[in-house]
Amino acid sequence: MKLRCLIIDDKPLAIDILADYISKTPFLELAGSATNPITGLQLLREQSPDLIFLDIQMPEFTGIQFMKIAGSTCKFILTTAYPDYALDGYEHDVVDYLLKPIAFDRFYRAAQKALQLSAPLPAPVNIPIAPPEYLFVKTEHRLQRINLPDLLYVEGLQNYVVLHTITGKVMSLQTLKSVEEQLPCQDFVRVHRSYIVNLRHISSVERGRIFIGDAMIAVGDTYREAFYSLIS
């Protein structure tokens, strides 16, 4: 079973990211996209999709207003950079609510939920999922792509983080916890309340200190036992 999807978002970059995620998901098929809700309504009539990934904040009218017009013709997953809209979305019985920037594993869980709600029988349990190879983080002016193999470690500084990569640093206004939730746990591990490290880039560990390139990161007492059991 495949779900035919539409993407409606006034940001072309956001559409590109979701289209890429849909192409990687075996049970989803992209039927079309629109950068404004008016064109989106026309696509809804023409394509009769099973699922719409719908941005909430758009110029012509909001995603909430779009759902009121569309009625119960299909299922919706809301996407937005504004967490204050979550309650409004759930009042309309949406499948899920994705907060931008959206990690692939979080997208996949929402898509699985839509599949389970659409299928007369339980969804297949052995659907393969490839680990994400990148993530997008919000900088001051844009969404910046970070290739995970190039990410050395992440440093938390109050209300923002610094992502240290092999090519330089990227600063993002979000919490360390929100970044941690987007990273694959098989490669990235929290070693301190202010640091997440990429295990693949650790050159050595000595006396509670981790060496990655020119950086030295102390292992916090809270994380010491779990970290050493992981690498030993």
What is the rounded distance in angstroms from the CA atom of residue 118 to the CA atom of residue 99? Answer: 23
pLDDT tens-digit series, residues 76-91:
999 988 766 554 545 5
Its CATH architecture, for the domain 139-231, is: Beta Barrel (2.40)
DSSP 131: P
The residue whose two tokens read 């030295």 is: 216
- Which pLDDT does position 5 carry in this prediction? 97
Whether 74 has a pLDDT exceeding 70, the answer reads yes
- Provide the H-helix boundaries in 72-143: 86-91, 104-118
- Pairwise CA distance, residues 141 & 41, whole Å: 30
Least confident residue range of 41-45, 107-111, 177-181: 177-181
Instruction: Quote the CA–CA distance of 205 and 231 in Å, as a whole number.
Output: 10
pTM: 0.52
What CATH number is given for 3-118 in this structure?
A: 3.40.50.2300
- Higher per-residue confidence, 127 vs 145: 145
Amino acid 220: pLDDT: 95
Rg (CA), the chain: 20
Name the residue type at position 68: K
pLDDT band at 121 (very low <50, low <70, confident <90, very high): very low
Cβ pair 61, 37 in contact under 8 A = yes
Domains in the chain: boundaries: 3-118, 139-231
Q: Would you state the pLDDT for residue 88?
A: 52
